[in-house]
Amino acid sequence: MKCIVDYVEEIKKKHNSNNPFEICKLLDIDVIYINLPKKVKGFYVKFFDSQFIYINCDIEEQEKKYVCAHELGHALFHAEINSIFIKDKTLVNSAKLENEADLFAACLLLNDDMFDYEKTGFTTIDQIALFSGVEKRLVQMKIDRAM
C-alpha cells in the first residue's frame, strides 16, 4: 500500500484543496447527514460502485470535518470494507484500519505550514490544535509520522 503521508500530499495537489467535503464531491463520494446514536459519529459504505459517507448531523461543524476526512481515508484505503462493520468484526485488524484513517485525516487537515514556527509562531501542540480545530491526538500523529 502506498504511503498514506505521500498519498495525502498528492491528493491535496491534484484537487488543490485539503477540504474533505470538496474532495468527496470531486471523487463522487456522497456525503449524507443523518440522525445517528450519539456514539456513532459517522461511517463509510460502499454499495456496488457507489460510495457514501454518513455523518451524524448532531455533531459540531469542526468535528464533521474530521469525521468526513477520517471516513474519506477509509473510502480511499479500505474501499471494500464498510466501516460500520469494522468495529464489530474481530476478523479485521480494526485498530490498524482506524489508525490509517486517522493518519489520513491528520495529514489532510493539517498542512505543513501549520508546523512552521516562522509562519505561525506556534510553539506547542495545544496552539496548533486550537487554531486548526484538529484534536491534539491527531496533531501528535502528524508530527510523529510526517515531520
Q: Of how many residues is the chain composed?
A: 147
Fill in the per-residue mask, 42 to 81: x = in contact with Zn ion (CB under 5 A), - = not in contact. Answer: ----------------------------------------
**Contact, 41 vs 56, CB < 8 A?**
yes
**Contact, 33 vs 39, CB < 8 A?**
no
Contact between 141 and Zn ion by CB under 5 A: the answer reads: no
Q: Measured from the CB atom, is 80 or 113 closer to Zn ion?
A: 80
The CB-of-71 to Zn ion minimum distance in angstroms stands at: 7
The CB-of-83 to Zn ion minimum distance in angstroms stands at: 5
Q: Measured from the CB atom, is 107 or 114 closer to Zn ion?
A: 107
Q: Could you tell me which of 50, 35, 114, 102 has the C-alpha nearest to residue 72?
A: 102
The CB-of-70 to Zn ion minimum distance in angstroms stands at: 5
Q: Measured from the CB atom, is 101 or 128 closer to Zn ion?
A: 101
Grouping H, G, I as helix, E, B as strand and the rest as coil, residue 111 is coil
Please report the DSSP string for 22-49 in residue order.
HHHHHTTEEEEEE---TT--EEEEEETT
Q: Measured from the CB atom, is 127 or 140 closer to Zn ion?
A: 140
Number of residues forming the site for Zn ion (CB under 5 A): 3
Contact between 101 and Zn ion by CB under 5 A: the answer reads: yes
Q: Which residue is nearest to Zn ion (CB)?
A: 101
Helix (H) or strand (E) holding 146: helix 136-146
The amino acid at 60: E
Can you read off the three cell numbers belonging to residue 137? 491526538
Residues that bind Zn ion (CB under 5 A): 83, 98, 101
